[in-house]
Structure 1
Amino acid sequence: MPANSPFEDIERIVDEMQRRLDETSVGGQSVGNQPSLDVVEYDEEFVVTVDLPGFEAEDVSVELVGRTLAVEAEQTHDETVEEDDGRFIRQERSRSTSTQQVEFPARVHEAGAIASMHNGVLTVTVPKTDPDQGGTRVEIE
Structure 2
Amino acid sequence: MLLMPRDRFGFNLFDDMFNDPFFKKAESPALMKTDIQEKDGKYILDMDLPGFGKENIKADLENGYLTITASRDESKEEKDEKGNLVHQERYTGQCSRSFYVGDNVKEEDIKAGYKDGILHLEFPKNETKQVEQKKYIAIE
Q: What band does the TM-score fall into relative to the shorter chain?
A: 0.5 to 0.7
Equivalent residues of 1:110, 1:126 under 8 A apart: no
Give me the TM-score of the superposition, normalised by structure 2: 0.63
Decide which structure has greater strand share: 1
Following superposition, the deviation at residue 129 of structure 1 comes to 5.3
C-alpha change, 1:96 and 1:4, in structure 2 (3 Å) is same
Structure 1 runs of 4+ with >3 Å offset: 2-8, 18-22
Q: Which runs of 5+ in 1 are unaligned?
A: 23-32, 131-141
Deviations 1:60-79 (A, max 9, x none): 11112232111111111211
Instruction: State percent identity of aligned pairs.
Output: 22
C-alpha change, 1:52 and 1:37, in structure 2 (3 Å) is same
Q: What is the number of residues matched between the two proteins?
A: 115
Larger Rg: 2
Two-structure CA RMSD over aligned residues (Å): 3.5
My pick for the range that moved more, 104-113 or 91-100, is: 104-113
Decide which structure has greater helix share: 1
SS of the residue corresponding to residue 11 of structure 1 reads helix
Q: Which structure has the higher relative contact order (CA within 8 Å, separation 6+)?
A: 1
Partner of 1:57: 54
- Separation (CA, whole Å) in 2 of partners of 1:75 and 1:61: 12
